[in-house]
Structure 1
């Protein structure tokens, strides 16, 4: 087991499925101190999963381990905590806190091996806030996976603050797993916007589909213009023409990715409605729903965007939030 302070990082390279579902290597060593178990030369980037001892975290481990096995890459399990102040009246001893962290890691490793026997698993315990630790580790990971909620937080909220903030600010895709979900080969669903930001989202969606069912459902949601008065109609507005325009744009956005991933079967859906509602419905039986977010620094809600925000609060299947600019 690796114990780290709040500045050390580990060296990983890229983990992603290529056009044939084959691993693709990219990048090189990153700066920073290396601690604990050492990765092999040429290792690809790991899938990072955050754990805190909750049942939801173990559900996230199960999904992450299955995905890592499909993509032939390693799994990195991270537990992060803030050491209580010495004057805390009911604080645990440092020894008790370390033992709790060790037991959290052991349970996560056992769950990963149950799902994917023989999977290469690394681990780290970091003394830092969970958000800070996971955001820093995410820089060197293929993706970060977390449960919908953890052990703390406010009762009644569907999504915890750690998962929400990671999805909004992570430099790599964040997958939020909403409890126990099937791990079978069902289709991947992706929301496709009408601008250049669709490219990184489609890259992740096709890679995920290539590593699993090789079936992808690409969804373009659209709605009528919002006007000041319900009696007003835009000049020359034809719903069929608008729908056809969206269908052509969707086909154009998908074309280069379909050429790159010829083994992935793509279904195109152009649906009238709010994106988060349309995608949640389309993904009710999906292995994964992929959506873009603006990402970066700043206030969490604007950084996440409306579609991703809505999905995280309503989807019944894992949601991958891809940072786009």
Structure 2
């Protein structure tokens, strides 16, 4: 049976917003399920030239302290047995989260901070962290943990990043007692009859092979295989409806090495109706 245990602790960025507090709830859930430590972190801008026309830096720091205290109270209310650590640091939120991320197995951020614009699916801090963190990043939605949502959706395209995403999906499904919906998207060539059938059979075979590398370690996890004639991002977004989580590799089979995030991860982060876990090579 797969243990699904987190190797290192969980870090969540909070800023005093309700979205940040809900991110803390999600982080607490992941820490509890993975028997991992949880750290709440808030960052405040370090100002070198306080004046009457600027918000004093000591008030910024007080706001950051208030943010972690509010998040700690929220965590205690949803996970009474969990006592999180706190960090208050000076600097930009994205830079500080990225700097501290190397010490954690999972970084959790709300999809928007209190400075985000209404209608934006993901803010700049969340996107920068998802794009550049050295490890896995969970970008939560604006909702609290949805106990009614179920299923972990993962995209499988045969790339090394997708292979790691499959493993991450199985691990989180094992921790949550959930099932995995593995989606492989493809576009058939212009062929008919037996050729088209053979092409689709080949896609099913490739999906089965990709999953077989890890499913034997998680016999308790139900895995549903789905081959879809569609664009990868569109297929994942459709499958994500009603899901608890969608998992994507940072880059897919067609991603450029110089890009931190591939096109599929970018699209899913901007449009997914549920939390998104971005996975990097392990």
TM over 0.5: yes
- The answer as to 2:205 corresponding to 1:248 is yes
Greater share of residues in helix: 2
d(CA) in 2 for partners of 1:48 and 1:237? 52
- The answer as to 2:2 corresponding to 1:19 is yes
Structure 1 gaps, min length 5: 1-17, 26-44, 226-232
- The answer as to 2:271 corresponding to 1:308 is no
TM-score under structure 2 length normalisation: 0.90
Q: What does residue 204 of structure 1 align with? A: 168
TM-score under structure 1 length normalisation: 0.79
d(CA) in 2 for partners of 1:63 and 1:239? 43
Deviations 1:263-296 (A, max 9, x none): 111110111111122111111111110001139x
d(CA) in 2 for partners of 1:95 and 1:183? 39
CA gap 1:184/1:77 in 2 versus in 1, 3 angstroms: farther
Kept in 1: contact 2:11–2:38 (CA 8 A): yes
CA-based RMSD: 2.5
- The answer as to 2:38 corresponding to 1:75 is yes
CA apart distance, 1:155: 4.8
d(CA) in 2 for partners of 1:237 and 1:137? 54
- The answer as to 2:9 corresponding to 1:52 is no
Match of 1:62 among 12, 15, 25: 25
- The answer as to 2:261 corresponding to 1:318 is no
SS in structure 2 opposite 1:303? Answer: coil
Structure 2 gaps, min length 5: none
CA apart distance, 1:241: 2.4
d(CA) in 1 for partners of 2:36 and 2:251? 27
Kept in 1: contact 2:151–2:181 (CA 8 A): yes
CA apart distance, 1:185: 6.7
Q: What does residue 187 of structure 2 align with? A: 223
d(CA) in 1 for partners of 2:51 and 2:156? 49
